């Protein structure tokens, strides 16, 4: 798992009166991270024009390169420069297929006295058993694959394609649908059962 790319999602509260400064600050953090080995990309969005919640994502090649960024003097300086107007609310790390099933690698909740006591770190629940993960994936994959196969049956000539070409087409079409839509939805729906 340590060799898997790791995505970090950070939720921050930003002082709305400092939105223009915060915009430059967020971009500066992205630019700094991009200079580190293993950096695979990042981005940030606001929850809404009037919202004080801002979200940042960044991805590194593996845990070692992520930790090099997270423990760097540059990141420490950058975070310190944003302290007057930005506070971390939550941090989540996700990796690989188990990222669909893990609650997170860690969640930090800042409190008013976080400077004195440190952030609250919530316990990390274990990933569900593999058999539950397999059932969850199947429950998402079967209906989506069935629907896609049925719909492709209406496309003239597809039935005459070689089996390898048809399977290639369906996997290319269904992989993003499963990754970004179906599996996150199914795992949210089944979370009580998965974590039992």
Residue 113: its pLDDT value, please? 43
pLDDT tens-place string over residues 114-125: 444 444 444 445
Q: What share of the chain is helix, strand, coil (3-state, %, to 5)?
A: 55, 20, 30
Residue 126: its pLDDT value, please? 58
What the chain holds in terms of domains, given with CATH numbers, is 6-121 (3.30.70.100), 130-195 (no CATH)
SS3 169: helix
pLDDT tens-place string over residues 17-32: 898 899 999 999 999 9
Q: Give whole-number Cα distances, 133 to 96, 100, 136, 183, in Å.
A: 13, 9, 5, 10
Return the minimum-mean-pLDDT range out of 1-5, 46-50, 180-184: 1-5
d(CA 93, CA 1): 12
pLDDT tens-place string over residues 95-140: 655 555 554 434 444 444 444 444 444 444 556 788 888 899 999 9
5: confidence class by pLDDT, cuts 50, 70, 90: confident
């Amino acid at each position: 798992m340590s060799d898997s790319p790791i995505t970090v999602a950070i939720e921050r509260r930003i002082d709305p009166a400092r939105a223009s400064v915060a915009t430059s600050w967020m971009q500066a953090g992205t630019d700094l991270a991009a200079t580190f080995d293993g950096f695979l990309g990042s981005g940030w969005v606001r929850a809404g024009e009037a919202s004080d919640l801002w979200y940042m994502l960044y991805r590194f090649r593996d845990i070692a390169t992520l930790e090099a960024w997270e423990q760097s003097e540059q990141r420490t300086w950058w975070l310190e420069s944003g302290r007057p107007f930005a506070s971390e609310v939550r941090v989540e790390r996700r990796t690989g297929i188990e990222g669909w099933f893990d609650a997170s690698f860690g969640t930090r909740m800042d409190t008013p006295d976080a400077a004195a006591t440190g952030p609250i770190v919530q316990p990390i629940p274990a990933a569900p058993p593999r058999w539950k993960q397999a059932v969850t994936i199947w429950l998402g994959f079967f209906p989506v694959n069935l629907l896609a196969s049925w719909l492709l049956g209406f496309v003239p000539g597809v039935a005459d394609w070689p089996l390898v070409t048809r399977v290639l087409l369906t996997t290319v079409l269904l992989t993003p649908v499963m990754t970004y839509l179906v599996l996150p939805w199914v795992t949210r729906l089944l979370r009580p059962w998965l974590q039992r």
